[in-house]
Amino acid sequence: MSSKELIKADRLPLHVAIIMDGNGRWAHQKGMDRIFGHQHGVDAVREVIECAAGLGIKYLTLYAFSTENWGRPDEEVSALMRIMVKSLNDETDTLIRNNIRLLAIGDVDRLLPDVRERLMETINITKKADGLNLIVAMSYSSRWEITKAVRRISEDICTHKLDPATIGEQVFENYLSTQGVPDPDLLIRTSGELRLSNFLLWQLAYTELYFTDILWPDFGKEDFYDAIYDYQKRERRFGRLT
């Protein structure tokens, strides 16, 4: 029996975040270079987006490229950028057809010009969609995000736009790149690694974590349904008693 049949529609996570890990190891297992793994990881992205939209999940955040990834070899970074542009070109019509709104978080100004231009075009084209909100984290890290938030808060205090006495969690969250987006209910990480890798550290405070040994290019629909079903079996207390 598919886990999809066991999923309860009234207990879906509102927001699912995914650290898509294992492209390089998947490629090496097949005797290929890392770029081959990134290319095939796109298929898993497509399947997960289709599953999330089909279930009625409202927010899906994908960790596509971290600020640390800029330290990888130039050839790999360049290939990743080309894959991103091609994916945006190939999938924009699908996003529109399926009422999916694309958003981005991260230091997008650092992206190569053609990537940034195509990304912003797709964001603009899909801005009226009210189905799944697909959030792509590109050139993103949580430390970058928090540092930027602190810098902006400091600037607003210096210009008397913000009273330090009013700063609380809600005010701070208004300075994050995820402003207006609910915190993830479920985080999925593939490839067997048991760490958060500088991803949404503020937002994941009470998120349910799901780790799987499956390498990202092999992560398919049934694996996504398994993660959702596992989430629904958990009791979330947010630090309180039952």
Could you give the residue numbers annotated as active site?
A: 21, 69
All residues at 6 or more sequence positions from 70 whose CB lies less than 8 Å from its CB, including other chains? 77, 110, 139
Question: How is 49-105 classified by DSSP, letter by letter?
Answer: HHHHHHHT-SEEEEEEEEGGGGGS-HHHHHHHHHHHHHHHHHHHHHHHHTT-EEEEE
Furthest CA-CA distance within the chain? 60
Q: Which helix (H) or strand (E) holds 205?
A: none
Task: Identify the residue whose tokens are 């297992």.
Answer: 29
Task: Note the Cα 29 to chain centre separation in Å.
Answer: 26
Determine the Cα–Cα distance for residues 101 and 99; give it in Å rounded to an integer. Answer: 7
For the chain, list the strands marked E by DSSP.
15-19, 59-66, 101-105, 133-140, 186-189, 208-211
Closest CA to 209 of 222, 200, 218: 200
CB 118 within 8 A of CB 95: no
